């Protein structure tokens, strides 16, 4: 099940990166 874990980890990292980018653009962070 390593493949599934890797996919979940990648999705989590992508979401975090997008949230950080949105925060920077929106001036929230």
Tell me 27's DSSP state. Answer: T
Please identify which residue in the block is written with the tokens 């990648």: 10
Do residues 23 and 29 make contact, with C-beta atoms less than 8 angstroms apart? Answer: yes
Q: Where are the domains of the chain?
A: 1-29
Do residues 20 and 29 make contact, with C-beta atoms less than 8 angstroms apart? Answer: yes
**What is the torsion angle, in degrees rounded to the nearest 10, for the CA atoms of residue 6, residue 11, residue 16 and residue 21?**
130
Over residues 1-29, the pLDDT tens digits come to 789 999 999 999 999 999 998 888 877 65
Please identify which residue in the block is written with the tokens 């979940």: 8
Do residues 15 and 23 make contact, with C-beta atoms less than 8 angstroms apart? Answer: no
Predicted pLDDT at 24? 84
């Amino acid at each position: 099940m390593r493949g599934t874990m890797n996919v979940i980890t990648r999705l989590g990292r992508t979401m975090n990166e997008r949230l950080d980018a949105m925060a920077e653009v929106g001036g929230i962070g």
